[in-house]
Structure 1
Amino acid sequence: MVMRRLVPLILMVALMPAMADAADDGDRKFFDAAFDATVARYHLPGLALGVIEDGKVVYARAEGERIVGSGQRIDTQTLFKIASNSKAMTAALLARLVDQGKLKWDDPVIKYLPDFQMHDPWVTRNMQVRDLLIHNSGLPAGAGDLMLWPDPNLFTRADVIHGLRYLKPVYSFRSRYAYDNTLYIVAGEVAAKAGGAPYEALLRREVFHPLGLQRCRIGAWNRDAVGNVAQPHARNDGHNVPVRQDDAEIPEVPMAAAGGVRCSLDDMLKWASMWLDPQHIGLVDGKPWLSDVQRRAAWAPQTIMPVSSLMREWDNSHMFAYGYGWRMTDVDGVWKVSHTGTLAGMYSALTLLPDKRTGFVILINGDADDARTVLNQTLVKHITAPLLGKTVTDYADALDVLAAKAAASAKPAKEEPQHRLATRDDRAIIPGRYRDPWLGDAMICPDGDGLRFTAVKSPKMSGRLYIAGKRPMVHWDDPTLDVDAWLDFANGKGSTSLKMSKLDPQGDFSSDYEDLAFQRVAKCPAQPPMARAMHER
């Protein structure tokens, strides 16, 4: 289904009486041009864009379809997955509890969760609440993410927290930045313990309700009762195709505190406005929703991040750091506080320029890594370096040039070995039930004439086995699991082990197969006679 050419729909919203100003004609034309160019260049199924200037919402536009081909139009009330932009909400929830005297940033985690345990006992004892938010644990990037995604799965938060003790660090504690999601799950449970209510109830009570985020959702809810919910899309043969669509009943998920919030553009603009104008927006009983002390803490650099060559070239950046659920850097001498969110088929970005009282919200329900980058960059430079006159096309072309250079300089790819479907007679494969300390059990057992891998607690991690050259691999059934895995079996003293690794070493870090350490614990269950007969025909 090729995206229809849509008539631009501009929806200017007055979130509050103090925020009813519209952009001047020049700015509105600029924002419209950036919006239209992004949709056209990247063939997006849907895009929602909001702009705050001088603390006021001046532009809010939504265009496209919630599901391509459905005719269900996106508007500023449509719910999108904001993914990792949820992290700032979790951090702010903790900050609210600090303001209320219910916890301290330097409290040890085990004060609230006595069973919490990292691989290293010293780290367990010394991990503070603040450490849960700033990606300095020593774990590799994305450690334990296979307990969170693909979802839905059968893991609980208790499973995730228990599994941390088996995740081996690759760096020293507090020595460097490596992005993780699992410790935000711990942060959510610390908040629940200190706040005396489940994480979801606390987020509604302390964040959604006082700030008037009326459409934001967390936890279990009914899709049709709430209504107006965008669905994720992937690009397939040049078309946008819906993927991982919601069932009518949307369940509670273990990764809620790391990336489980859904919000509309209108609500995200309220959230952004509170940070830019706390003396007027989101007041509770006439007082700012968050104290100045905790606002400063949220945006204080905690873990230093590397400044990329692209950041230096495009933005003249000199520093880059992570705070409590936010990234911070300088752009042309202007302070920038931001975060992005990425889930399969859903992209978000929230960017604030506090000294300019300016911000941008981007919500997309399709594959949109480059689209998000170029649109956000164009909007930021419109404020920090307007005389450059940079456009979406300029930055999109620049990314294409960089991609072409990277491809040209890459080592020639080895000739792809012939793939064939694995059979029960392949000696490179040892069927059976395998167990990893944190992912749990996986079955590698007969499936018709071939073999299938299935993770028991993560049913979407299921696929048929193939032989590539002489090496076994699994090709996942779910097309959104685009990083297939090598399977390497080894016979030891009285046991059989299995290691996994990404076919594409540059694949997404959440596909953390390399952290798994399976041991064979049982044979495959015997097939019923009828099933055997069917397989043998």
Structure 2
Amino acid sequence: MRCTLPLAAALSAAFLLAPVNADAAGPDDRTRVARAVDDAVQRYGLPGIAVGVIEDGRIVAIETRGELAAGSGQAVAPDTLFKIASNTKAMTAGVLARLVDQGKLRWDDPVTKHLPQFRMHDPWVTANMQVRDLLVHNSGLGLGAGDLMLWPEPNSFTRADIITGLQHLKPVTSFRSGYAYDNLLYVVAGEVAAAAAGMPFDEVVRRELFEPLDMDGCRVGQWRLDEAGSVAQPHRRVDGRNVPVREDGEVVPDITSMAAGGIRCGVDDMLKWVGMWLDPKHPWLSPAQRRAVWTAHMPMPVSERMRQWDNSHFSAYGYGWRLSDVQGEWKVAHTGTLSGMYSSVILLPDRRTGIVMLINGEGEAARTALGQVLVEQAIGANAGHDVAHYATLLDQERAGRAAAQPLPDTSARRPATAEEAAALAGVWRDPWFGEVEICPRADGIAFASARSPLMRGRLMRVGARWLVDWDDDGVDAEAWLQPPSRDAGKGATLTLSHVDPDADFSYDYADLAFTRQRDCP
């Protein structure tokens, strides 16, 4: 299903943007965007997508395709809510910047000023971590450390559990010495905002963001599905088909990851958000805080793809935004990935140009290829490079990685027997993840988390190795299980690691270390 919003309606919906004449965005602008979107949908078989493009401060296209849920017959529309996932981080940072403008906090405040219970593994880091440090991925923790307290959903971990659990996550580098993406500290940042504002974080977001920018379709915290209108559902690919997964119930709960990735918006409201950033005189933030948010606070590596595709020379993280250059032009962007939903926001501030992409399926490659084409259209680079061109390059990259680091062959797996798993049987505990049972069940030996219900699977043997085969197909990162050595003694730990070295880093198995507590129930 395809919908192209008429230009006049688009302009009316985005009142924040500069007023234009009816013919300001010509048919060529809309046609080239529509063609690129169609190419991405066809190449990747997307269940649904919404794309909005602003050029020179004016909306030139809003394009929607597909369905809220595959087979539902309900078409994606400009106001359809998608999970924007980690594009929430820029909103969290923006809310904090508003509170700085209001004098309710400072970027260099110690986190413990607002959250006295906050603890990191190192007491010196605890005392010296500032509010700004929560936003720039410089904590010294490993990539995605502690994310198993957030995903897979649902689980029983709370924001208070995260603040308590952080002290048990051991750093892999020294504080402020390097970049490693994290989510937990954005959860802490949301709690800092709540403490400074004197109200729960979802109320802060509504008051400081949604209301002043008229983003009244967006949702955060707990809300009712029947009051939200059009809501896209996540999908995964099964035998070449898009299948809805983890569909929303009647009441959508307040999720623990709210400040890191819990906001939902439609492309129409996202264009209001983008339009505000493209207008340097917009009063939502002071000029000083705009500069603070888009300052390069933490250097990031420049990837080979960035060098080849964009001729990039620098990459850095601001407050909730990634900063880089593309063909000599300033680029501010972020992506979001969460359980069958993909989003992307790309800004070219000097051109007052912005791109929003929202996808409700397995859309990582589609997001990358389509975003590249739309950016190049905006800056007039690489004429003739279409979605197929970049899709082919991505396929080649993937094949190269697979050849360099092939997946282990686990086809000979078989269920472990109670006899051979006798030394593993029992209840084990990790200090931040909690207890797991390795105990007999009807079909073999189960590995089951007490606090994360989807982290339940069957213990398998692959030659001399142990593997956890998760019951839920949505948990797509199988784990090797490494038992303690026989001579390790009391306090020895059981650990997990990825079978697929390319698996999502949010399955942070490397941060787990279980010690045996007692026998199976």
| Global fold match (TM > 0.5) | yes
Pick the aligned partner of 2:458 from 450, 461, 464. 464
TM-score (normalizing by structure 2): 0.95
Unaligned regions of 5+ residues in structure 2, if any? none
- Alignment partner, residue 269 of structure 2: 267
- Alignment partner, residue 75 of structure 2: 73
Q: Structure 1 pair 427/279, CA: closer, same or farther in 2 (3 Å)?
A: closer
- Alignment partner, residue 148 of structure 2: 146
- Alignment partner, residue 30 of structure 1: 32
Do structure 1's residue 363 and structure 2's residue 358 form an aligned pair?
A: yes
- Alignment partner, residue 535 of structure 1: none
Alpha carbons 1:44, 1:368 under 8 Å: kept = yes
Q: How far apart are the structure 1 equivalents of 2:112 and 2:2?
A: 55
Cα deviations across residues 412-453 of structure 1 (Å, max 9, x unaligned)?
Answer: 665546211122122465111111100011111111141111
- Alignment partner, residue 531 of structure 1: none
Secondary structure of 2:454's match? strand
- Alignment partner, residue 85 of structure 2: 83
TM-score (normalizing by structure 1): 0.92
Do structure 1's residue 515 and structure 2's residue 517 form an aligned pair?
A: no
Letter in 1 for 2:185: L
Q: CA RMSD in A?
A: 1.6
Matches within 5 A, 1:82-231: 82-231=84-233
Q: How far apart are the structure 1 equivalents of 2:492 and 2:177?
A: 35
Secondary structure of 1:474's match? strand
Letter in 1 for 2:361: G
- Alignment partner, residue 419 of structure 1: 413
Cα deviations across residues 45-66 of structure 1 (Å, max 9, x unaligned)?
Answer: 0010000111121211111100
Matches within 5 A, 1:421-436: 421-427=415-421, 429-436=423-430
Secondary structure of 1:67's match? coil
Letter in 2 for 1:475: D
Unaligned regions of 5+ residues in structure 1, if any? 1-5, 281-287, 526-537
Q: Structure 1 pair 495/313, CA: closer, same or farther in 2 (3 Å)?
A: closer
Matches within 5 A, 1:226-305: 226-279=228-281, 288-305=283-300
Letter in 2 for 1:200: D
Do structure 1's residue 60 and structure 2's residue 70 form an aligned pair?
A: no
Q: How far apart are the structure 1 equivalents of 2:289 and 2:464?
A: 57
Cα deviations across residues 83-111 of structure 1 (Å, max 9, x unaligned)?
Answer: 00000000011100000001100111111
Do structure 1's residue 398 and structure 2's residue 393 form an aligned pair?
A: yes
Identity over the aligned pairs, expressed in percent? Answer: 56
Q: Structure 1 pair 338/65, CA: closer, same or farther in 2 (3 Å)?
A: same
Moved more, 439-448 or 142-151: 439-448
Moved more, 415-424 or 295-304: 415-424
Alpha carbons 2:2, 2:64 under 8 Å: kept = no
- Alignment partner, residue 344 of structure 1: 339
Alpha carbons 1:19, 1:57 under 8 Å: kept = no
Q: Structure 1 pair 316/244, CA: closer, same or farther in 2 (3 Å)?
A: same
Q: How far apart are the structure 1 equivalents of 2:229 and 2:378?
A: 36
- Alignment partner, residue 486 of structure 1: 480
Q: How far apart are the structure 2 equivalents of 1:478 and 1:464?
A: 11
Secondary structure of 2:212's match? helix
Do structure 1's residue 333 and structure 2's residue 358 form an aligned pair?
A: no
Give the number of equivalent residue pairs. 512
Do structure 1's residue 316 and structure 2's residue 311 form an aligned pair?
A: yes
Secondary structure of 1:351's match? strand
Q: Structure 1 pair 11/440, CA: closer, same or farther in 2 (3 Å)?
A: farther
Q: How far apart are the structure 2 equivalents of 1:412 and 1:505?
A: 9
Secondary structure of 1:62's match? strand
Alpha carbons 1:424, 1:449 under 8 Å: kept = no
Pick the aligned partner of 1:49 from 41, 51, 72. 51
Alpha carbons 1:433, 1:444 under 8 Å: kept = yes
Alpha carbons 2:477, 2:504 under 8 Å: kept = yes
Alpha carbons 1:231, 1:243 under 8 Å: kept = yes
